[in-house]
Every structure is written in C-alpha cells, then in structure tokens.
Chains A and B, each alone.
Chain A
Amino acid sequence: EDQVTQSPEALRLQEGESSSLNCSYTVSGLRGLFWYRQDPGKGPEFLFTLYSAGEEKEKERLKATLTKKESFLHITAPKPEDSATYLCAVQAAGNTPLVFGKGTRLSVIA
C-alpha cells in the first residue's frame, strides 16, 4: 500500500527563519511526487512535481528535493504570506490517483 508521512505536523517560524518540511513515502514504482499549498477554506494549489531521485525544483522562496525515500520542501527566509498547509502526494506507476499525506501546517510570524 502506498503511504505518505509528513513531518512536522505543524511548524511555527519567525519571518526570515529558514527551515525544511519532510515527506517520507513508500510507493510501488514512483511515477511522481507532488507538493501542494493549501490556504484555509481553499483547494490545494499545485507547486512542484519531482520525478526522480536527485531532482530539485525552485519557486521563489521554496525549493523541493527528492531522494529514493523522502522529499524535502526547503523554505528560505519565509514571509508571513508563506503561512499555509503544505501537502505532499505520490503517484505510483500506471497513472494511479495521487495518495496524500496529512500535511504540515506552517505559520510564519512577522
């Protein structure tokens, strides 16, 4: 069974304090690992897809990396507007539906 575990459940940072969110996964043949951002009362918003170990992608203050067992979402010098829940999901081979983790709730305090 495909599984995704995210840690920590919640993270509180001061503005400018860099940190990382972790996503550990087990999947039978990884086709892709996805990161989403979700604001309160809204649907998830797509951030990144990573396909193979060693791959990295960046968008503004966010950088996602992938190994064979986990992915990290690095947040550099975060701002209050980065506060959201960040969801990780995996897709197994065969174009199966995404399996999501429970998310990390990030709060950035000014």
Chain B
Amino acid sequence: NAGVTQTPKFRILKIGQSMTLQCTQDMNHNYMYWYRQDPGMGLKLIYYSVGAGITDKGEVPNGYNVSRSTTEDFPLRLELAAPSQTSVYFCASYALGGAGYGYTFGSGTRLTVV
C-alpha cells in the first residue's frame, strides 16, 4: 500500500499565482484532512472531509478551497497565493475505528510564495 501520497513535494509560487496540492489515499479511508505546519508551530487544520461530497472548514481556511469528489482524492486549491501561505502542507486520512486509530499522514508539500 502506498498510504497517503502528496504531490508535488516542493513548489515555488509567485504572489497572485494559483495551484492545486494533490492528495490521494489508497486505504479506503472516509476521513481526510489538510493541515499546514509553520516553523516552531504545531499543525493547524485548514479543511477536512468526512466523506465524498462533504467538506468543512478548519481553523485557518481563508485563501484555500477543497473538493472531495471521490473517496481517494482530496485536493487543496490555493487561489491568489500570498507570502503568508508559505508553509509545509500535510494531508492525512483516517478510518473511524481503524487499526491504531491514528491519522496516516503524507510526506508533505513544501510551498514557498515569493
């Protein structure tokens, strides 16, 4: 199993550009999450989804959008990139009642906005 796959691993954007961070999981997990991690800070929740067609805002949703058309995919869209969006982005998935009960994280996308 590949687990949670995130692409790209690194990206540099110019202010005002847009991009989509991709996240795919092959574990048939219903729950998926997007977090961002800034230096010295913990993980902050951007958006999450409890199943295909259902999404909800987290703590820091401004400047981002998500969609969940399939169980496997949960892309994160950045519109009009700003320097404040420079961060490392992690996608995670989770199965209610699954083994270990913990989230499975991807390896992250490091985004720099200049």
Contacts and interface: CB of A to CB of B under 8 A. Distances in A.
Interface of A: 4, 9, 32, 34, 36, 41-47, 49, 87, 89, 95, 97-103
B101 A44 contact: no
Interface of B: 4, 33, 35, 40-45, 48, 58, 90, 92, 96, 100-108
Nearest to A1: B59
Contact of B42 (A4, A41, A42, A49): A4
Nearest to B9: A41
15 contacts: A32-B101, A43-B4, A43-B92, A43-B105, A43-B107, A44-B90, A46-B104, A49-B101, A95-B96, A97-B48, A98-B33, A98-B103, A100-B43, A100-B44, A102-B42
Contacts of B108: 41-43
A49 B44 CA distance: 20
Contacts of A103: 42
Contacts, number: 52
B112 to A, nearest CB: 15
**Most chain A Cβ neighbours within 10 Å, of B4, B33, B44, B101:** B101
Nearest to A51: B101
Contacts of A42: 107-108
10 closest cross-chain pairs (CB), A and B: A46-B102, A43-B105, A100-B42, A100-B43, A102-B42, A49-B101, A44-B105, A43-B107, A97-B45, A97-B48
B11 to A, nearest CB: 15
B42 to A, nearest CB: 4
B56 to A, nearest CB: 9
Contacts of B41: 102
Given A32-B101, A43-B105, A100-B43, 10 more contacts: A43-B107, A44-B43, A44-B103, A44-B105, A45-B105, A87-B42, A97-B33, A101-B42, A102-B41, A103-B42
